[in-house]
Amino acid sequence: MLITIYYIISFIVLIKAAIVLGRKKSSSQDYFFFFLFMNFGVDFLSELDIITSKSIQYNYLNVFNIFYFTCFYYLNVKSKRLVLGMLVITVIGIFFNPGLFYLDKYSLSFALLYCTTNIIQVLYWYKYKLNNINESKITDDPAFWISSSILLWSCFFIFRTTPMYLLNEIDKPFLHLLKQLLNVINIISCVLFYIALHKYNMMNKK
């Protein structure tokens, strides 16, 4: 039930992104439509078993997402140091996962690295905004809602996956509960993305 709600809301968010984008340049919403399209497409096609490769479902998608958010935060804070840091972390992560792209296997360590890069960049963005206060409210910035969404998701994902194998042996009901809660977090994240798109739309009308 929760997974169905998640896909319905994800599709609504994707349609909202397409409507907000309209005929405007992709840069008007920090190329956010492409991020949503790629993630929804891979998730939905995987659910239908059209995409069955775990490398594509998770590893390739995580690499794409790291690249996207590195570009996203560069557009928002213009920090070459942050970009360099993310590239170094990603290259190190790939180096220690030699089968990342050709083995049909989910890399949990690289997924955790993806979450870590998200958290670092979000906290960097928060710090940047607090140090550069202007007249507009932080909640009027679409990046605030996107950052809040991925911070929430990344923190819970780490909390859920780190003890996953241990819980599978000693407390399967709790592990199942965490899986269901992750679906709830996914839904909340989508709602925050929708709010971000509304903020982009308001900015475009000014």
Q: Around Cβ 75, how many Cβ atoms within 10 Å? A: 12
Q: Which residues contact 78 (CB under 8 A, 6 or more apart)?
A: none
Find which of 20-29, 33-42, 131-140 is predicted with most confidence, using mean pLDDT: 33-42
pLDDT given at position 164:
83
Query: Closest Cα partner for 100 from 62, 145, 154?
Result: 62
**pLDDT over threshold 80, residue 26:** no
pLDDT given at position 206:
66
Per-residue pLDDT, averaged over 70-94, amounts to 95
pLDDT, tens digit, 9 for 90 and up, residues 156-170: 999 998 888 888 888
Kindly indicate the confidence band of residue 192, based on its pLDDT and cuts at 50, 70 and 90. very high
User: Of residues 102 and 190, which shows the higher confidence score?
Assistant: 190
Per-residue pLDDT, averaged over 75-88, amounts to 94
DSSP-H helix ranges across the chain = 2-21, 32-47, 54, 61-77, 80-95, 108-131, 142-161, 164-170, 172-205
Per-residue pLDDT, averaged over 16-40, amounts to 89
| Average pLDDT of every residue of the chain | 92
Note whether 122 and 151 are within 8 A (CB).
Answer: yes
First to last CA, the chain: 40
Per-residue pLDDT, averaged over 39-51, amounts to 92
User: Of residues 49 and 66, which shows the higher confidence score?
Assistant: 66
Query: Closest Cα partner for 181 from 142, 155, 148?
Result: 155
Kindly indicate the confidence band of residue 185, based on its pLDDT and cuts at 50, 70 and 90. very high
Cα separation values, 127 from 30, 69, 123, 158, 193, Å = 20, 17, 6, 22, 21
pLDDT, tens digit, 9 for 90 and up, residues 110-142: 999 999 999 999 999 999 999 988 778 899 999
**pLDDT over threshold 70, residue 61:** yes
Note whether 22 and 204 are within 8 A (CB).
Answer: no
